């Protein structure tokens, strides 16, 4: 394609955690690789780096935060283009498409992206390709990948054909993907021979020193892995994704190394500086025979926190995983040498070293604190790994898994089993990627966010569960959460009290508010629903309520808590604190359900059973505009079941049908009187 005004694309993103930004930048990179004149900007840069009225072709990528709200860096743009004073044809020159990211576990799915789509359309913008809305509650890739596959043919149609036919044609494209962007994919026959050439990887081949230990790794460690599942594609021609050159180069240096965490590069969710917090205490909240081990850790802090705040914990990959990866790549001898990273002299313009990579680093540091080595491997990396393989059977299998025809197998085998690059390397011995390949393709190691439980003028505490998954035939090693596993291992000496003086530190920082905080006035009724560790933020809510009641002169509203766990004697979190809140009338109603204990007839098994028992009063509170409901905990089952329960109760006690009840419930959500802080 010829570069020029007619082939110019502007990629615009609004992102809260960085995920939408990552997708937008990948689209930009793909566009440049495909021959387009492309730019990428954050929506907050409108009026500074771009003028939306002057853009003719735009691809929007927008995420969702809170309960359907647009990300913070997109709100000003939305307000600007939503002004009622703007004429209806204000954006009539603009042809656009939009990819929205949301989570159906929340009451409002993709609210921010859908509002953006509506506003653009209302002001005259034309859609050249149907919008896609990806669901993190099921799997973003289920929508993102086919949407991206259809984007390039739609852009081709936009630039080549009469724009009056774009909308109808884009619907056909997104369903059938009839056209293909030339020179962006390679087709292979059933023998694995390439039929269409593409821009190849850098000529540089991995310079791997084969030590005695690495030679032992030259066999399949996971011979029964599902990665070897018999494929229906074994005799098919395959269409592979684009193969992008590796544009990074690592090299040794004698420069002084400054100890930083990810170069102190800021995180999108941060609203303050990273601090190396001293661990004041740590305790296990559950009994040894509990199914899950819950730990509370308390940090000394200098920043003042309040009930409802969330902190992020900077974490590190498991040492055993890192050591294995270094050895598998043949980098043991150089793992602790000082290195620098630069952009290759032959790389396209605008390429850069990821900003979170330290100026001077070691390979061990890179794999320990910078990269998500346990993340589910994505197709572009699989495509690169294909080029590093010498065994034809192994090569063919990875080609199948990253091909367009293998989309179903990728979702079933890779995403369905949470397969990482470690598992790929343990299954296919001939796979020998370079360090630069992994740095370029693995995502940044992200902090994990935790709601504050207890707080004071100089301390905060958080609660987390530790669940260990045993090693199986598909994974290199037993697995636990990256951050919870790191914290548990770090805190174990303090928990066991094997040492009299222990000095432990954890890097934490405050995050932007998600709106999940107590109501501003004591007169508001407060209904909290939080089974398991979902009760943690409500300890802070009740602590704040206690402080306010001590100086309050007006009549307070009620405070209800619905809590649930498996066993009263094994995993009842904060039992003493909650019982005290109830005795002192800080908590006016406290309902507990034990799902695995024997129950009296009619006894509650789950929190929704307790809610149904109090159904008439719950509906009265739902319809009272002075009441705010808060739900915290598991998104996969609990939050959906509680939501369904609320709608059913509204239908029952207001004597209306389910459709009308759902409408009433959605109104309560839109009034910000039903808030959720949920996770998967």
pLDDT in tens, 625-660: 999 999 999 867 899 999 999 999 999 999 999 999
* pLDDT score at 394: 94
pLDDT band at 183 (very low <50, low <70, confident <90, very high): very low
Q: Are the CB atoms for 574 and 534 separated by under 8 Å?
A: no
At residue 198, does pLDDT exceed 70?
no
pLDDT band at 241 (very low <50, low <70, confident <90, very high): confident
At residue 189, does pLDDT exceed 90?
no
Could you give the CA distance from residue 334 to residue 379 in angstroms, rounded to a whole number?
29
* pLDDT score at 224: 79
When comparing pLDDT for 203 and 296, which is higher?
296
At residue 188, does pLDDT exceed 90?
no
Which residues make beta-bridge pairs with 529? 562, 631
5-176: CATH topology is: Rossmann fold (3.40.50)
Alpha-carbon 85 to chain mean position: 37
Between β-strands 275-284 and 293-300, what pairing exists: parallel, antiparallel or unpaired? antiparallel
* Nearest alpha carbon to residue 166 among 129, 122, 134: 129
Q: Is the dihedral of CA 183, 184, 187, 188 positive or negative?
A: positive
Could you give the CA distance from residue 11 to residue 588 in angstroms, rounded to a whole number?
52
When comparing pLDDT for 119 and 108, which is higher?
119
* Nearest alpha carbon to residue 68 among 666, 679, 633: 666
Could you give the CA distance from residue 18 to residue 265 in angstroms, rounded to a whole number?
13
User: What count of other Cβ atoms lies within 10 Å of the Cβ of residue 342?
Assistant: 13
Q: How many alpha carbons fall within 13 Å on the CB side of residue 106? A: 26
At residue 205, does pLDDT exceed 50?
no
pLDDT band at 161 (very low <50, low <70, confident <90, very high): low
At residue 173, does pLDDT exceed 50?
no
Q: What is the CA radius of gyration of the chain?
A: 27
Strand ranges for 517-617 from DSSP E: 525-529, 559-565, 589-594
pLDDT digits (tens, 9 = 90+) for 581-628: 999 999 999 999 999 998 877 778 999 999 999 999 999 999 999 999
At residue 470, does pLDDT exceed 90?
no
* pLDDT score at 136: 85
Fold match between domain 5-176 and domain 275-316+447-510: no
**Domain spanning 525-679: which CATH class is it, in words?**
alpha beta
Range from 166-180, 316-330, 462-476, 542-556 carrying the lowest mean pLDDT: 166-180
End-to-end CA, the chain = 43
Q: At what angle do helices 392-402 and 379-387 cross, to 10 degrees?
A: 160
When comparing pLDDT for 161 and 1, which is higher?
161
- Cα dihedral value 380, 384, 385, 387, nearest 10: 150
* pLDDT score at 544: 96
| Answer CATH for 275-316+447-510 from 1.20.200.10, 3.10.129.10, 1.10.3720.10, 2.40.30.10 | 2.40.30.10
- The SS3 assignment for 603 reads coil
Calculate mean pLDDT across residues 43-58. Answer: 94
Q: How many alpha carbons fall within 13 Å on the CB side of residue 486? A: 19
- Tokens 């390949």 locate to 437
DSSP 532: G
> Which alpha helices (DSSP H) does 86-140 contain, by range?
111-122
- Tokens 């239908």 locate to 651
Percent of the chain with pLDDT over 90: 66
Q: How many alpha carbons fall within 13 Å on the CB side of residue 187? A: 9
pLDDT band at 499 (very low <50, low <70, confident <90, very high): low
3-state helix/strand/coil string of 193-258: CECCCCCCCCCCCCCCCCCHHHHHCCCCCCCCCHHHCCCCCCCCCEEECCCCCCCEEEEECCCCCC
3-state helix/strand/coil string of 414-480: HHCCCCCHHHHHHHCCCCCCCHHHHHHHCCECCCEEEECCCECCCEEEEEEEECCECCCCCCCCCEC
Calculate mean pLDDT across residues 237-255. Answer: 91
pLDDT digits (tens, 9 = 90+) for 375-393: 999 999 999 999 999 999 9
- Tokens 């992206």 locate to 113
Q: Are the CB atoms for 639 and 676 separated by under 8 Å?
A: yes
- Tokens 């102190």 locate to 264
Q: Are the CB atoms for 405 and 233 separated by under 8 Å?
A: yes
Give the list of residues 6+ apart from residue 323 with CB closer than 8 angstroms, or none. Answer: none
Q: Are the CB atoms for 413 and 228 separated by under 8 Å?
A: no
The secondary structure element, H or E, covering residue 249 is: strand 248-252
Calculate mean pLDDT across residues 465-469. Answer: 84
Alpha-carbon 76 to chain mean position: 24
| Per-residue buried b or exposed e for 661-677, using 16+ beta carbons within 10 Å of the residue's own CB | bbebbeebbeeebbbbb
The residue extents of the domains of the chain are 5-176, 275-316+447-510, 525-679
When comparing pLDDT for 228 and 557, which is higher?
557
Q: Are the CB atoms for 541 and 308 separated by under 8 Å?
A: yes
Q: How many alpha carbons fall within 13 Å on the CB side of residue 597? A: 18
Q: Are the CB atoms for 604 and 328 separated by under 8 Å?
A: no
Query: Residue 118 class from Cβ within 10 Å (0-12 exposed, 13-18 middle, 19+ buried)?
Result: exposed
């Amino acid at each position: 394609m010829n570069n020029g005004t007619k082939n110019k694309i502007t990629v615009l993103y609004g992102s809260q955690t960085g995920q939408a930004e990552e997708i937008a930048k990948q689209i930009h990179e793909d566009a440049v690789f495909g021959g387009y004149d492309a730019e990428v900007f954050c929506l907050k840069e409108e009026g500074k780096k771009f003028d939306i009225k002057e853009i003719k072709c735009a691809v929007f990528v927008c995420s969702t935060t809170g309960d359907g709200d647009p990300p913070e860096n997109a709100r000003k743009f939305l307000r600007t283009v939503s002004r009622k004073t703007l004429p209806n044809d204000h954006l009539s020159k603009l042809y656009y498409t939009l990819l929205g990211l949301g989570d159906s576990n929340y009451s409002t799915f993709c609210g921010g992206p859908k509002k953006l789509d509506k506003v653009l359309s209302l002001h005259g913008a034309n859609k050249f390709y149907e919008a896609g809305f990806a669901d993190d509650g099921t799997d973003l890739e289920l929508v993102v990948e086919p949407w991206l596959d259809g984007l390039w043919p739609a852009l081709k149609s936009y630039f080549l054909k009469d724009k009056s036919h774009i909308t109808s044609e884009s619907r056909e494209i997104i369903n059938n993907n009839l056209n293909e962007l030339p020179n962006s994919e390679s087709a292979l026959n059933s023998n694995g021979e390439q039929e269409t050439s593409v821009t190849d990887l850098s000529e540089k081949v991995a310079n791997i020193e084969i030590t005695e230990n690495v030679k032992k790794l030259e066999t399949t460690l996971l011979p029964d892995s599902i990665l070897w599942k018999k494929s229906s594609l074994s005799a098919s021609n395959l269409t592979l994704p684009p193969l992008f050159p590796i544009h990074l180069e690592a090299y040794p240096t004698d420069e002084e190394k400054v100890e930083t965490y990810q170069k102190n590069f800021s995180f999108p969710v941060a609203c303050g500086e990273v601090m190396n917090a001293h661990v004041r205490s740590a305790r296990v909240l559950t009994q040894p025979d509990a199914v899950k081990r819950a730990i509370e850790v308390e940090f000394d802090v200098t920043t003042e926190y309040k009930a409802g705040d969330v902190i992020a914990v900077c974490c590190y990959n498991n040492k055993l995983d890192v050591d294995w990866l270094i050895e598998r790549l043949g980098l043991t001898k150089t793992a602790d040498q000082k290195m620098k990273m630069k952009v290759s002299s032959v790389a396209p313009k605008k390429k850069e070293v990821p900003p979170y990579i330290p100026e001077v680093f070691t390979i061990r540091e890179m794999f320990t604190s910078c990269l998500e080595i346990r993340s589910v491997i994505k197709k572009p990396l699989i495509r690169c790994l294909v080029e590093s393989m010498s065994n034809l059977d192994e090569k063919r299998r990875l080609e199948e898994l990253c091909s367009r025809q293998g989309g179903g197998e990728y979702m079933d085998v890779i995403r369905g089993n949470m397969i990482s690059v470690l598992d790929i390397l343990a299954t296919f011995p001939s796979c020998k990627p370079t360090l630069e390949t992994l740095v370029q393709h693995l995502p940044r190691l992200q902090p994990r966010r935790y709601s504050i439980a207890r707080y004071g003028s100089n301390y905060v505490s958080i609660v987390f569960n530790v669940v260990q998954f045993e090693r199986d035939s598909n994974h290199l090693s037993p697995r636990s959460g990256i951050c919870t596993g790191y914290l548990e291992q770090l805190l174990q000496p303090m928990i066991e009290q094997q040492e009299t003086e222990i000095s432990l530190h954890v890097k934490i920082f405050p995050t932007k508010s998600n709106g999940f905080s107590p109501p501003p006035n004591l007169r508001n009724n407060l209904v909290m629903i939080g089974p398991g560790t979902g009760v943690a933020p409500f300890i802070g809510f009740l602590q704040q309520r206690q402080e306010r009641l001590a100086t309050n002169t007006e009549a307070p509203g009620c405070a209800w808590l619905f809590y649930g766990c498996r066993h009263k004697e094994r995993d009842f979190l904060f039992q003493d604190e909650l019982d005290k809140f109830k005795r002192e009338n800080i908590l006016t109603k406290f309902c507990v359900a034990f799902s695995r204990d024997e129950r009296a007839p009619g006894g509650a098994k789950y929190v929704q059973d307790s809610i149904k028992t109090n159904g008439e009063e719950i509906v009265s509170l739902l319809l009272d505009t002075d009441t705010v409901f808060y739900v915290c905990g598991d998104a996969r089952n609990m939050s959906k079941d509680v939501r369904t329960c609320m709608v059913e109760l509204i239908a029952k006690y207001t004597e209306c049908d389910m459709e009308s009840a759902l409408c009433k419930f959605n109104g309560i959500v839109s009034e910000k009187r039903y808030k959720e802080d949920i996770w998967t």
